[in-house]
Homo-oligomer: A and B are copies of this chain.
Amino acid sequence: MFRIALDLMGGDFAPQAISAGAALALKSFPELHLILIGPQKFIQPLLSQPRTEGLFTEEVVLMDDSPGEALKRKRKASIFLGLDLLKSGEAQAFVSAGNSGAVVAGSIFILGRLAGVRRPAIATLLPTLKNPMVLIDAGANVDSKPYDLYQFAVMANLFLETIWGRANPKIALLSIGEEIGKGNQLVKETHKLLSASSLNYYGNIEGRDIFKGDVDIVVCDGFIGNVCLKLSEGLAETIMEMLKNEVKKSYLYLLGMSLAKGAFKSFKKKIDWREYGGAPLLGVKGNVIISHGKSDALAIKNAIKQALHFAKLDLATQLENAIIKHHLEEAGVEE
């Protein structure tokens, strides 16, 4: 049995979508024990199910609360109580679709960073023409330094090797040209660090090429990573919307599209972020999964599935050991 803590009050469709996702997950995963955190009135109905318990609190971090202020004034909010459960060992992973800034700040403050890690980062899975790849950082930090980006690469590398068994993943640096020397100051300096490292470094990658699937990891600052992530979601939706508008113009098009419906359905499933669960926050002492703010029941169920996976493997501890090993190797120290 694995004990997963779930923030019932996080996300645009909380608490209904979160409750529905919790119910789905309990049905699907027999090894799941769920600790639901939020107001009693929302949690009570779920407690009739086996393998559940409640941690009641009325405090909630809102989506536009400042993370620092929230930590000061709303210490009993569901996000922070969930992290407390991780810290004390009462839960083995924590899932929240709430204010991601508050989850990051809370994780650093309550759990602390892994030894040797300067800044934790959000690792998001993205579909490509080949295998899904990892974009890191998807928004935990803005104004990162070159060494931070280098560490994001190290963490994502270990994450893919440890959790996915993808050996020696190819790591690329997001920039505005493939040639060395193209990019801003941050990219130019990070390039030097990655080139000198033992990582399987591919070089710069342009925005145009990240969905081709030629690399396993794309590294960037969290500001640009977050913009890219949201842009991709928005653009995919817009393209579908524009197509729909064109199809509506003729009965023939409508007929054709209804015949090809199955193709669209399986395509949509492939690019559906809800299928990818949440995004782990790598670099803190605990298994923290940040789910999409627009999470519905399916997204929450998949985020819980991922949390179970991380809990089983004890991702955070494995990552800490691997990071220490990596830094020792880079420093030329034999174990």
- Structural contact, B259 and A66, CB atoms closer than 8 A: no
CB distance from A308 to the nearest CB of B (A): 29
- Structural contact, A233 and B253, CB atoms closer than 8 A: no
Question: Cβ of A330: which chain B residues have Cβ within 8 Å of it?
Answer: none
Given contacts A64-B179, A206-B230, A236-B235, whether A262 and B253 have CB atoms under 8 Å apart is yes
Question: Cβ of A238: which chain B residues have Cβ within 8 Å of it?
Answer: 128-129, 211-212
Which residues in chain A, 55-92, are within 8 Å of chain B measured between CB atoms?
Answer: 64, 66
- 6 A-B pairs within 8 Å (CB atoms) are namely A184-B221, A207-B234, A223-B224, A224-B227, A247-B263, A253-B262
- Structural contact, B129 and A241, CB atoms closer than 8 A: yes
CB distance from A203 to the nearest CB of B (A): 13
Q: How many copies, total?
A: 2
- Structural contact, A260 and B271, CB atoms closer than 8 A: no
CB distance from A250 to the nearest CB of B (A): 7
- Is the CB of A322 closer than 8 A to any CB of chain B? no
Given contacts A238-B211, A256-B256, A259-B259, whether A246 and B224 have CB atoms under 8 Å apart is no
- Structural contact, A242 and B271, CB atoms closer than 8 A: yes
- Is the CB of A232 closer than 8 A to any CB of chain B? yes
- Structural contact, B259 and A242, CB atoms closer than 8 A: no
Q: Give A263 to B128 CA distance when docked, in angstroms.
A: 25
Other-chain residue from B127, B230, B246, B254 in contact with A264 (beta carbon distance below 8 A): B246
Question: Cβ of A258: which chain B residues have Cβ within 8 Å of it?
Answer: 256
Q: Give A6 to B129 CA distance when docked, in angstroms.
A: 37
- Structural contact, B243 and A184, CB atoms closer than 8 A: no
Q: Give A260 to B244 CA distance when docked, in angstroms.
A: 11
Apart from the given pairs A224-B224, A239-B271, 20 other A-B contacts in the complex at a CB distance below 8 Å = A129-B242, A142-B184, A143-B184, A175-B227, A176-B230, A184-B221, A206-B234, A208-B234, A209-B234, A228-B228, A228-B231, A231-B232, A236-B239, A243-B267, A246-B263, A253-B259, A253-B260, A255-B259, A256-B263, A257-B263
- Structural contact, B246 and A183, CB atoms closer than 8 A: no
- Structural contact, B246 and A253, CB atoms closer than 8 A: no
Q: Give A185 to B144 CA distance when docked, in angstroms.
A: 11
Which residues in chain A, 122-181, are within 8 Å of chain B measured between CB atoms?
Answer: 127-129, 139, 142-143, 174-177, 179, 181
Other-chain residue from B142, B256, B262 in contact with A183 (beta carbon distance below 8 A): B142
Which residues in chain A, 174-209, are within 8 Å of chain B measured between CB atoms?
Answer: 174-177, 179, 181, 183-185, 187, 206-209
- Is the CB of A315 closer than 8 A to any CB of chain B? no
Question: Cβ of A143: which chain B residues have Cβ within 8 Å of it?
Answer: 184-185
Question: Cβ of A187: which chain B residues have Cβ within 8 Å of it?
Answer: 223
Question: Cβ of A256: which chain B residues have Cβ within 8 Å of it?
Answer: 255-261, 263
